[in-house]
A = this chain, B = another copy of it.
Amino acid sequence: MSTLAPVWLDAVRWDAQGLVPVIAQEVGTGDVLMFAWMNREALLQTVTLREAVYWSRSRNRLWHKGEESGHVQKVHDLRLDCDTDVLLLKVEQIDRIACHTGRHSCFFQQFSGTAEDGQWVAVEPVLKSPEAMYKKGEPTA
């Protein structure tokens, strides 16, 4: 039997690209940290390592979160939704920085105003500069 054949992996409804959306939430605070994607291999590695491994659509490869920045996500809980096509990871975020901008959460732009005059305002501080986070090459968080 292939290592990618477990029944629990087949229970996930993968999309046409073989991917599933993933929400990463911080245990304790409940803060939603980021949103990403996984394929079968990424999910299998996540369960095996107990650390978040995503599928990077922009780089078209597996992405062990924190592989460059050190901001690894230790998985405490893994949930599947009612339609079996979305995952929720509850994680311990190392250094409390999930975003490649150096912020705690990727969701730092808050809507302000009304439908007519609304704007997005950055409301969370940069905890660490991207330059300090990434010593070489492009940011991969």
Contacts and interface: CB of A to CB of B under 8 A. Distances in A.
Nearest to A81: B106
Given A6-B116, A8-B119, A120-B80, A88 B32 contact: yes
A118 B11 CA distance: 11
A13 interface: no
A120 B10 CA distance: 11
A71 interface: no
Interface residues of A, number: 45
Contacts of A81: 34-35, 106-109
A86 B107 CA distance: 8
A53 B22 CA distance: 21
Contacts of A95: none
A77 interface: yes
Given A6-B118, A32-B23, A118-B8, A84 B111 contact: no
